[in-house]
Amino acid sequence: MSTLTIAAVQFDISWLDKQSNFDRLEQLFKDHFTDHAAADLLLLPETFSTGFCINRKDVQEPKDGSSALHWLKKIAKQYNCVVAGTVLVSQNDKKVNRFYWVFADGRVEHYDKRHLFRLGKEQDFVEQGQHRKIITIKGIKILPLVCYDLRFPVWSRNRQDYDLMVNVANWPAPRRHIWDTLLKARAMENQSFVVGVNRIGPDGNDMPHSGGTTVINFDGENILSATDHLQQIITTQLDFSKLDNFKDKFPAFLDADKFELVKVVSKS
């Protein structure tokens, strides 16, 4: 395996102001990166262009011609990296919370958020994603998750099909200790590197966010963390040969229970 350089953006998202978010992010990149090939993967928080506003029909983008998607393509090409973040995209009579992964050559992959936040009535406005996704960068296999997905370990169970788990979120400050705890738990139980990317600041509903953007080792130890309440980019290089060595010495995955995820269709 090779190494992968990760840049994670802890960002105070302007509510429903895409252009302001694009402009401020571009300034952050300009201030942080000394060259245009500073990372292999650049990660943005959930709904980075608008904030987590799910109940308005004007806060969604078409599948084609998305301004946020065009912007992601521009940044990926400019910095010669993969750029990833979620956007609310029209689908049927609702929308999906779509985690775009945009490559420097213009290729796009995506994962649609599976677990919808019932307390916030996300399921009333957003369609549930149906497919688990693995994305490969430089030979490294990555499991993308979005916010509330973090609470559901069966969906994220490592069947030796990924090396790195990434979760991008708008995880609120009152439940911050759960975010911190579950990120470490997912790393240890799955013997995987984990990157969590969260926003800061109050959203349009006055819900506060304290951050907690972090990179965690496969044994649950923090490698690097952002400062709470501070808008910043953290960058680190992950060495996946260390993960291989760890799993060789402690092959707990060989004793894992086998299972299969099935789609349940309710009867009308």
Domain carrying residue 141: 3-255
Indicate whether 217 belongs to any domain: yes
Q: In order along the chain (268 residues), what is the average pLDDT of each group of 10 residues? A: 93 97 97 84 98 93 85 96 97 95 97 96 95 97 98 96 98 98 98 98 97 98 98 97 96 90 59
Q: Which of 81, 122, 147, 184 is catalytic?
A: 147
pLDDT value for 259: 85
Indicate if 221 belongs to the active site: no
pLDDT value for 101: 98
Q: Which of 95, 113, 122, 184 is catalytic?
A: 113
pLDDT value for 138: 96
Task: Report yes or no: 159 and 176 within 8 Å, Cβ to Cβ.
Answer: no
Indicate if 53 belongs to the active site: no
Indicate whether 231 belongs to any domain: yes
| Angle separating helix axes 18-32 and 67-79, nearest 10 degrees | 10
Please identify which residue in the block is written with the tokens 């689908």. Answer: 91
Indicate if 46 belongs to the active site: yes
Task: Report yes or no: 54 and 126 within 8 Å, Cβ to Cβ.
Answer: yes
CATH number of the domain residue 17 falls in? 3.60.110.10
Domain count, the chain: 1
Q: Which of 46, 73, 122, 184 is catalytic?
A: 46
Q: What is the pTM of this model?
A: 0.95
Indicate whether 251 belongs to any domain: yes
Task: Report yes or no: 167 and 146 within 8 Å, Cβ to Cβ.
Answer: yes
pLDDT value for 150: 98
Indicate whether 266 belongs to any domain: no
- 204-235 per-position pLDDT tens digit: 999 999 999 999 999 999 999 999 999 999 99
Indicate whether 49 belongs to any domain: yes
